[in-house]
A and B are shown apart, each in its own frame.
Chain A
Amino acid sequence: MAMAQAQGRSTFGWLVGRRGRNGFDLTDWFAYGFLGLGVFLMLGPVIWLLLSSFKTEAALQEFPPTLMPMATQTVMVEGFDVPLPLFRITEGEHEGRVLAQIRRVGLNAQMVDPADPETRITVNIAHREPVRVVAVATENYTTVFTRFNFLLYFWNSTFITVVATILTVLFNSMAAFALAKYDFRGRTSVFILIIATLMIPPTITLVPMFLVVSQMGLVNSHWGVIWPAIATPTGVFLLRQYMLTIPDDLLDAARMDHASEWRVYWKIVLPLSAPALAVLTIFSVMWRWNEFLWPLIVLNRSEVFTLQLALNSFQGELQTAWSNLLAMTVLTLLPITIVFAFLQRYITQGIAQSGVK
């Protein structure tokens, strides 16, 4: 016990505690304090984005902003075509009453009691404050669909992600199968060659890659994004390592039954590699959905933009309203968030084990 006390007071105590202790001491307060701050910093901005995306454009302009999406409550009053904003009177003879404002005239506001639409009341504007209620501006989201072609960009992103992922898994697993299960001249060289491409990130060959893609006529085509992306050294390596653990006897038994090599690959090796294929699938979906620089170079016309490009171009335009931009940002992070919510364990394990992202 005396030792635990000493640790509690030592400078690094809050970093070095380990499992198997009992009791809650000072170091635990530090640890949970740090983690609490971490949660606030990591999730806070995302939650702020989410809350803001439901605010009306007027509420977004407010300074200081409110936490929840708020708006002035309105009411339909007999004899008026449009809903009138409600105000609570804070001073003067009508103090405490809730009135609807018809119009402002200079420093005064012409108001009316919703229960008594005939009588006009004049109130100094300093003597009233708006009645605020939580108001969710779902129209931010609906205009994203009607005015901003969200579905088109969503479809573009989905097309690229799905097609590229299928081809990535197919091609990489074929190569991994060859490297893991065949003994042929040049196997080691090919393997080293593929791994060596890890050293050449696409960012350093942008210009010549653009030449190749434009010579293939793929500028402004989704295939110009898909083809260069689908042979990944990471995927080949990941799958090869996994396939090495599949016993050769299994393959040989099938060959005895006159199975073709394609059948061995498709019907035996692929199903047995399912866990590794799942990891690569998740990686590929994340890579393609979030990719930015290469699509930025290849896709120049707005009708072929991916979601990321559309978001980027809207934020650059001055006349784009934050309300729509925020809603579109939320819709863009939604698919990845849902995937993460369901496959969290799978993703973190896959990354911790393979050391790739």
Chain B
Amino acid sequence: MQAVRNLGIRAYEGAFNLFERPMLFVQRRLGMHRVAWMFLLPNLVIFGLFTFLPIFLNFWYAATSGDRILLTERPWVGAANFASLLDCENYLNPNTCHRDLFWRAVHNTGWFVVLQVGFMILFSLVTALILNRDIVLRGFFRAVFFYPVLLSPVVVALIWKWILQRNGVLNAGLDAAGMGTVNWLLDANWAFFWIVFVSIWANMGFYVLILLAGLQSIPGDVYEAAEMDGTPRWRQLFRITLPLLMPTMLVVIVLSLIRAVQAFDEIYVLTGGGPGSATTLLIQYIYDVGFATRPRLFGLAAAASILMAGVLFMLTMLQLAATRKRAVNG
């Protein structure tokens, strides 16, 4: 242990010595007033290359077609990609659309977001309220609910795939109860139910944690005052707890909305978007069109991602408003 510690200290010192001379040189050249840029540079270069530059290039891709990745080899098509994505007789019926898969993904994502966020917030709130009681082993329960959050999406998907497979333990239980078995992931409706369920399972611990922190920051004397007035407990829930939790709730709701719109990993591994396109969500559509199937339609993928970015942008604005409200309400 001591050896590891010494090695760590030596590495820390070594890194310091390695950078000191060049940094001192830069500091002398820049002067104290501009030395901050030296510290900012690495981060800004990476942001520039991998965040800001791609934003502009994304529009360029969306306005060109072909399967070449180099922009100079791509013919300009203007708004054709957007037009093709938005070409639809009836937006409520994906079958009438030119890009029916895109609209199916839009519909799936819409349902997924509503169901996943709705039920996840409900379950998280109930769990947080219960954990906020005088619970023995609260730390243990909190840790248990949080544990799946840390698991990788691939692991989460495989855990559930193993349970849901045809000879899996769930079917064994149903069979023993005399209810017959179901091919869970090959039935469109059940598959959709399970992607919602698994994604709630994997993520709710995070929201329980945040809601619990919000609940515990509500001062106890508010309740004492209510108690003295003889306010019944259930009324305290609706008149004190939930209103005071509202700012945290808002943040949690918007955050989970933003995440749900971008859901991909565990669903892709669990169902692969199937059966058919029953569980194909937007990100998977973008991945499929742009990378997984040939010819790679980069332009269409970019256009679809710009449309999605619009939705995300609005949600983020909502989040900023919610955060500010929380900051104001303290």
Contact = CB atoms under 8 A, between A and B. Distances in A.
Interface string A327-357: 0010011001101100011011001110101
A11 interface: yes
B286 interface: yes
B233 A227 contact: no
Contacts of B47: 193-194, 197, 231
Q: Which applies to chain A's interface (DSSP): helix, strand, loop or mixed? A: helix
Interface stretch (B94-102, B103-111, B113-121, B306-314): B306-314
Nearest to B217: A352
Contacts of A247: none
A122 interface: no
A307 to B, nearest CB: 8
A98 interface: no
Contacts of B277: none
B-side interface size class:
35 or more
Contact of A210 (B69, B147, B150): B69
Interface string B33-45: 1111111101110
B192 to A, nearest CB: 19
A13 B232 CA distance: 9
B16 A266 contact: yes
B234 A13 contact: yes
Contacts of A286: 150
Contact of A209 (B54, B133, B169, B264): B54
A252 to B, nearest CB: 12
23 contacts: A11-B234, A38-B127, A38-B141, A45-B159, A46-B159, A63-B167, A64-B172, A171-B46, A175-B40, A184-B33, A190-B44, A193-B47, A199-B316, A214-B69, A231-B50, A236-B43, A260-B20, A262-B23, A297-B287, A326-B158, A337-B147, A340-B150, A344-B139
Nearest first, the 3 A-B pairs at minimum CB distance are A208-B57, A64-B172, A208-B54
Interface of B: 15-16, 19-20, 23-24, 27, 32-40, 42-44, 46-47, 49-58, 60-61, 69-71, 126-127, 129-135, 139, 141-155, 158-163, 167-169, 171-172, 175-176, 201, 205-206, 209-210, 212-213, 223, 232-234, 236-237, 241, 251, 255, 258, 262, 264-265, 269, 272, 283, 286-287, 290-291, 298, 301-302, 305-306, 308-309, 312-313, 316
Given A65-B172, A182-B36, A200-B55, 15 more contacts: A7-B234, A43-B147, A174-B40, A174-B42, A190-B40, A200-B309, A204-B306, A204-B312, A205-B57, A208-B53, A260-B23, A262-B16, A290-B154, A293-B283, A329-B159
Interface of A: 6-7, 10-21, 28, 31-32, 34-35, 38-39, 41-43, 45-46, 48-49, 52, 61-65, 170-172, 174-175, 177-179, 182, 184, 187, 190, 193-194, 197-212, 214, 227-228, 230-231, 236, 260-263, 265-267, 286, 289-290, 292-293, 296-297, 308, 311-312, 315-316, 322, 325-326, 329, 332-333, 336-337, 339-340, 344-345, 347-348, 351-353, 355, 357
